[in-house]
Chains A and B, each alone.
Chain A
Amino acid sequence: MSAVHGTTGAGGPGATAPGRPGPSGALAGRSELGVAAFLAALGVLVLVDALGLHAPYSQSDPVGPKTVPYVVAALLVVCAVVLAVDVLRGGRGESEGGEDVDLTHPTDWRTVLPLVAVFAANIALVDTLGWVLSGTLLFFGSVVALGSRHYVRDLVISALLALGSFYGFYLGLGIPLPAGLLEGVL
């Protein structure tokens, strides 16, 4: 925990390409530079937004609304630069492990993208279809995206969960989730 480049560890810090037979170009395998770009872009965004604030000097608020955004923008940009340098010198962020995480295979976009799609569908549908229907779709879609193939059982469980949470929140907690299409039925 003492090093700035905590993850450089094994690789020599001076070496730009630490001996791995990487594909062509200096940017190959350096997708982490995207993180640095993201931080920099966000920093600029915060800065531009702060510049647009009106802050007449006032005795009661000498700091004004702009100061902290400036500091945050500076922090983000500095981090972006240092991170980019670290990555170019061979530093790598350590992917997070976990009980069910297998880091030996690459990111499985065929699971992640359908999950995100199902999630987005729920956002679009929850107010019109109501929680019971859109929640059923959400759970069912997620389970299938995650690899379950017991369609009938999955659908029954999804419907029970959505219905149960609807009534649980309504009767138990007094929170009326939208009924949507089933208005009047439930």
Chain B
Amino acid sequence: MEVLDALAQGFVTAATPVNLLYACIGVLLGTAVGVLPGLGPAMTVALLLPVTFALEPTSAFIMFAGIYYGGMYGGSTTSILLNTPGESSTVVTAIEGHKMARSGRAAQALATAAIGSFVAGTIGTALLAFFAPVVVRFAISLGAPSYLAIMLLSLIAVTAVLGSSRVRGFSSLGLGLAIGLIGLDPVTGQSRLTFGEIQLVDGIDIVVIAVAIFAVGEALWVAAHLKRSSAAVIPVGRPWMSREDWGRSWKPWLRGTAYGFPFGALPAGGAEIPTFLSYVTEKRLAKKPEEFGHGAIEGVAGPEAANNASAAGTLVPMLALGLPTNATAAVMLAAFIQFGIQPGPLLLEREPQLVWGLIASLFIGNTLLLLINLPLAPAWAKLLQLPRPYLYAGIIFFATLGAYSVNLQWFDLVLLLVLGLLGFMMRRYGLPVLPLIIGAIIGPLAERQLRQALQLSAGSPTGLVNEGIAVATYVIIAIILVWPFVTKFVGRARTAPTHPTPTPTERT
């Protein structure tokens, strides 16, 4: 029950008129930017970060909550009305959503996405409120060896599980870790990879890295391959659903939530797997499976709910362990650090007002999203017709403004350009960008845990494995790393004598 008390306190913090106003602004800004093609939730949050820096932390994070859910909702609007989504987590939504829109059911697709997001977001946030303290209690008992192991797990899981090519994922991770090394070594005070440049001694601001890789890299990449004929946007009225649509949607919402939250909450989370699982499940359970592929509402309702529930789940390791597991959480962690707040097990104890205020404002933001966005959907759809030169020039302009306003240093803009070109190269050659961001953030944290663990054991490597959780985590890491080779080997041994082709069921 102490959770409920704390949450009530959080609502007291969040529901002041001024903070409600910030939540409203956050939802509107987040949706408006998130709707714009090419801007996923992570980029939305990164671009809008500087706007929140001038506020006091509590108000800033309340605005953040609005931006977070707003950006997510905006992204799914884009994928339904325009197809080919910007963020991998809405890929599945686009499959059926865009088909629905093309057959004149855009209003229903948007409605089931919005209401499903609301349902999943609300349940997910409630689960977050109850689980975060539990995870914190568990996390406090962990020592440096276990932290190190869990951090390595999330680095390796993000790199190895997502994406199509492992070597390209690990290359990206290596780049991120190298960027994370730049600056003063916190223990000995020696500067690493600064090449005598004073501006690099403090390391590179995560905001600059995120804006460069997500925004500048993306804008340059699109500029190099800009479609000259603009995509057709499907006009839409006010979203609504018939009784039959409700009947077909509510179970997928709940099932999607059940898939999404646990996957989001794992240190190796992400929305790709649960949205995909939800889609497959709904296809199997549907009364009219033949509709799948031609615009089945279940195929929008389930994955959208899974996506939002996973977003809420992601905040569990973010708040309780200080571990970001997707791009948006990584940017949020950067925001915390910018405010001088270190997420982790002690956060809940030291800054209860901020944490519970944030959780309460997630509820508020989620509700505002539904109230504001259902009537505004036609207006958002118009944003999709923004001429592309303005859109991408605008991204470059605001990325520059954001990165510059953090320290008012032109040197940050040099970094923005260099890292932006790196982001361009990565998109050109299929290196995923997420491992880079996560590596740059978690790398330094993991190094600190490594040095602490071995300090306690006076340099003996047994100091790395003297906690049960650490050992178990290393076993999981080993399985993740070895698994592809095992399936390959077994698959070959099993199929070689009769069929040369691998069985499709083994590739999930």
Contacts and interface: CB of A to CB of B under 8 A. Distances in A.
B193 A46 contact: yes
B255 interface: no
Contacts of B410: 123, 126-127
A49 B420 CA distance: 24
Contact of A169 (B84, B173, B405, B507): B405
A137 to B, nearest CB: 11
A148 B390 contact: yes
B213 to A, nearest CB: 12
Nearest to A59: B458
A109 B163 CA distance: 27
Interface residues of A, number: 87
A69 B168 CA distance: 20
Nearest to A97: B84
A161 B394 CA distance: 9
Interface in A94-132: 94-103, 105, 107-109, 111-112, 115-116, 119-120, 122-123, 126-127, 131
Given A53-B190, A64-B188, A79 B174 contact: yes
A79 B483 CA distance: 19
B222 A69 contact: no
B380 to A, nearest CB: 15
Given A2-B488, A4-B484, A63-B454, A49 B225 contact: no
A91 B120 CA distance: 40
B238 to A, nearest CB: 24
A146 B181 contact: no
B178 A42 contact: yes
Contacts of B401: 131, 135, 165, 169
B417 A119 contact: yes
A60 B186 CA distance: 13
A157 interface: yes
Nearest to A112: B224
B255 to A, nearest CB: 24
A99 B171 contact: no
A114 B141 CA distance: 55
Interface in A114-173: 115-116, 119-120, 122-123, 126-127, 131, 135, 138-139, 142-148, 157, 161, 165, 169, 172-173
A116 B178 contact: no
Contacts of A145: 223, 393
A5 B165 contact: yes
Contacts of A107: 224-225, 428
A100 B430 contact: no
A75 B173 contact: yes
A142 B173 CA distance: 31
B87 to A, nearest CB: 10
B444 to A, nearest CB: 9
A177 B388 contact: no
Contact of A75 (B38, B166, B177): B177
Contacts of B51: 173
A99 B175 CA distance: 27
A157 to B, nearest CB: 7
B503 interface: no
Contacts of B390: 143, 148, 157
Nearest to B421: A116
A80 B396 CA distance: 31
Interface of B: prevailing SS: helix
Nearest to B399: A119
Given A53-B190, A99-B82, A146-B393, A115 B168 contact: no
Given A35-B429, A54-B190, A93-B168, A65 B86 contact: no
A59 B459 CA distance: 8
B231 interface: yes
Given A97-B84, A112-B223, A4 B167 contact: yes
Interface residues of B, number: 91
B327 to A, nearest CB: 14
Nearest to B54: A173
A97 B170 CA distance: 21
A174 B396 contact: no
A68 interface: yes
A175 B165 contact: no
Contacts of B170: 75, 79
B427 to A, nearest CB: 4
A82 B167 contact: yes
Contacts of B1: none
A135 B431 CA distance: 31
A146 B392 contact: yes
Nearest to A178: B408
Nearest to A39: B171
Contacts of A161: 394, 397
Interface in B192-239: 192-193, 195, 216, 218-228, 230-231
Contact of A2 (B54, B177, B484): B484
B167 A68 contact: no
B165 A122 contact: no
Contact of A177 (B166, B226, B405): B405
B171 A83 contact: yes
Contacts of B425: 35, 38
B181 A69 contact: yes
B166 A4 contact: yes
Contact of A115 (B162, B220, B228): B220
16 contacts: A35-B429, A39-B175, A53-B192, A63-B454, A65-B187, A72-B181, A98-B221, A99-B78, A101-B225, A102-B228, A107-B224, A119-B400, A139-B397, A146-B388, A146-B389, A173-B51
Interface of B: 37-38, 50-51, 53-54, 78, 82-86, 161-168, 170-171, 173-175, 177-178, 181, 185, 187-188, 190, 192-193, 195, 216, 218-228, 230-231, 387-394, 396-397, 400-401, 404-405, 408, 410, 413-414, 417, 420-421, 424-425, 427-431, 443, 447, 450-451, 454-455, 458-459, 483-484, 487-488, 506-507
Given A76-B171, A95-B427, 5 more contacts: A75-B174, A100-B38, A108-B223, A131-B404, A138-B400
